[in-house]
Amino acid sequence: MTPTPMVEIASMIAWINRYADRISEHQAWLTALDAEIGDADHGINMQRGFEEVRMRLAHEHVDDLGVLFKGIGMTLLSKVGGASGPLYGTLFLRMGMVAAGKQTLTPVEFANAVAAGVEGIRQRGSARPGDKTMVDALMPAIIALHQALDDGATLCAALQAAAAAAEAGMKATIPMQAYKGRASYLGPRSIGHQDPGATSAFLLVQSAAESLCAAEHNSD
């Protein structure tokens, strides 16, 4: 029986670096989406925060996934403006709590860590599915991730399913009215616009699929 590939620190760093690349590539798009229903700074703030994370990762050596995720979370809390810093910071801090003391995670342990992070976001933002937030992309992604792993999929395949679910959730925010955050001030005028937070959340899941599928392929 082939042993289950483990999620290692190197692949987590690759994920975050790939996400930093994606944020940089799509910074103008994220900012334009935010200009329609927010403060027009989501892309700028996210790029600043993840470039800071990238620099820290390049100069720090950690051998504990909990320490890695906690460091990312604390950097985002201090460097990303608006609501995004506390929300993304909470995601990684909660992941760090689940992964504390571990150098590797099984696919299910990784999924549980991400699920804990998403629950932290939901609690911090008091958001529910349908409120037109990043939760609308992340909750379907977590459900798809766990379902695929339960069905025996590899982590690569499970994350691809999660990314597809996150993309569908992101697009589903377009016809929604916003009930949380700056966009909620617009009331019905928020309808017809894609939520920028859901968009950056989709990019996060997509980046995880890309980087971990590459790691899985290289280990074959």
pLDDT for 157-209, tens place per residue?
999 999 999 999 999 999 999 998 888 888 899 999 999 999 999 999 999 99
The CA dihedral of 163, 21, 90, 37, to the nearest 10 degrees, is -80
pLDDT value at residue 1: 38
Amino acid 184: pLDDT: 87
Over residues 109-134, mean pLDDT: 95
| Distance (Å, whole) CA 111 – CA 6 | 12
Q: How confident is the model at residue 2 (pLDDT cuts 50, 70, 90)?
A: very low
Residue 135 has pLDDT above 80, yes or no: yes
What's the whole-number mean pLDDT along residues 3-9? Answer: 80
Q: Rounded mean pLDDT of 143-153?
A: 97
Provide the percentage of residues in the chain whose pLDDT is more than 90. 83
Q: Which domains does the chain have, with CATH numbers?
A: 7-214 (1.25.40.340)
List phi, psi (to 5°) of 123. Answer: -70, -45
**Rounded CA gap, 83 and 87, in Å?**
6
User: Alpha helices, DSSP H only, in the chain?
Assistant: 9-25, 27-37, 42-59, 65-79, 84-99, 107-125, 135-150, 155-172, 196-219
DSSP string, 37-65: HS-S-HHHHHHHHHHHHHHHHHH---S-H
pLDDT band at 151 (very low <50, low <70, confident <90, very high): very high
Contact between 94 and 116 (Cβ < 8 Å): yes
CA 45 to chain centre: 15
Query: What was the pLDDT predicted at 220?
Result: 56
Tell me if 20 sits within 8 A of 211, measured CB to CB: no
- Residue 16 CA, chain-centre distance (Å), reads 9
Give the separation between CA 105 and CA 113, rounded to whole angstroms: 9
pLDDT at 185: 86
Tokens of 191: 């309808």
**pLDDT tens figures, 24-37:** 999 999 999 999 99
- Residue 152 pLDDT greater than 50, yes or no: yes
Q: Which amino acid is at 175?
A: P
Residue 147: count other Cβ atoms within 10 Å of its Cβ: 14
Q: Which pLDDT value is given to residue 219?
A: 64
Average of per-residue pLDDT values in the chain: 93
- Which pTM was predicted? 0.95
